[in-house]
Structure 1
């Protein structure tokens, strides 16, 4: 599996996935995305949460307009823009939106909710978690050409070679009569 994944990576294939009964460290490094945007999503969510709430609280307390929802509060003789009082709620909003960004960013980056993948239609794939190793090169790969990719995979001497159907509809079990 490791040798096949290295050869596919060296041949220029980037959109591929490996399935095995146990994790293979060197294969996972080849399949991992080069740049993970998750940290940037969390950072931007935290900045949006903290900065947005700080601006909102500042506007609520310093707005010169006599609107009923934006009025200055004189609490304890402090000035209207007492930024130290805004820090606890700003901190909480920063953490809350960073958590939301991490959760929803992970869900979107993982392509969830995807309960079904067309590779499950291949009969041989049922043994992927038992004793077989599978390397799947996707048709959306820029290097993919059906004939060339098939010749390349045949050169790796696999036990079987199967084409994954593109049908992405879930076929429900037929009811018994």
Structure 2
């Protein structure tokens, strides 16, 4: 018996054409920061929620124009710190003051004063872990690939172009309306970026008889 890799199509209806394309987003380029911020504000005020802006550098005020809410990451970090502090206190009280008492020179089995170093260390440690994994979760990382990364305008956004993309999974999305909106705000090179509607061809391990 040996393992051979064969291309297998998963969950693919027989009538589906593998070359069929689906819209990913309507994309537009803008000439400068002011035009980008104005376009982002207009898209948000029209009720779109699934859109994003791409710039070569951070743009002050863009998050407010997009209606981005304040992040909850500080609360996640605070929760991690409280969890670390509570864990440190409970650990030291349980081991030294309850489960395994040792009489060392008549000192108390548990006291806040000598627990401070462990309290500090676990508070910082769990706060850091909660912050790291909370950030990854909120940013949906790791995301190895997104279809928009194949768009030429998206690639230029890392150099000299400001880009707005309205994604096709937005409840209000229609190709005609999004194109008209972005053009009315001064967008250039307005186009619909598409991707394969059936990217499910993968290599699966199939057991076959060896000759």
Q: Which residue of 1 aligns with 2:193?
A: 164
5+ unaligned residues in a row in structure 1: which ranges? 64-69, 170-177
User: More relative contact order in 1 or in 2 (CA 8 Å, sep 6+)?
Assistant: 2
Give the SS at the match of 1:165. Answer: strand
Q: CA deviation at 1:146?
A: 4.1
> In 2, Cα distance between the equivalents of 1:158 and 1:5?
11
Residue among 54, 58, 79 paired with 2:108: 79
Q: Which residue of 2 aligns with 1:44?
A: 79
Q: Which residue of 2 aligns with 1:66?
A: none
The structure whose residues are more often strand, as a share, is 2
Q: CA deviation at 1:40?
A: 0.6
Name the TM-score, length of structure 2 as normaliser.
Answer: 0.67
Q: Which residue of 1 aligns with 2:44?
A: 9
Q: Which residue of 2 aligns with 1:136?
A: 165
User: Would the aligned equivalents of 2:54 and 2:164 in 1 still touch at CA under 8 Å?
Assistant: yes
Q: CA deviation at 1:122?
A: 1.6
Q: CA deviation at 1:156?
A: 2.8
Written as runs of structure 1 = structure 2, the 5 A alignment for 1:27-38 is 27-31=62-66, 33-38=68-73
5+ unaligned residues in a row in structure 2: which ranges? 1-35, 200-211
Q: CA deviation at 1:85?
A: 1.8
Q: CA deviation at 1:106?
A: 1.6
Q: CA deviation at 1:157?
A: 4.0
Residue among 147, 154, 162 paired with 1:125: 154
Name the TM-score, length of structure 1 as normaliser.
Answer: 0.78
The structure whose residues are more often helix, as a share, is 1
Give the SS at the match of 2:84. Answer: helix
Deviation string for 1:134-156 (max 9, x for gaps)? 10122343443444333323433
Deviation string for 1:15-37 (max 9, x for gaps)? 32111234332323323631311
After TM superposition, what 4+ stretches of structure 1 lie above 4 angstroms from structure 2? 166-169
> In 2, Cα distance between the equivalents of 1:85 and 1:19?
51
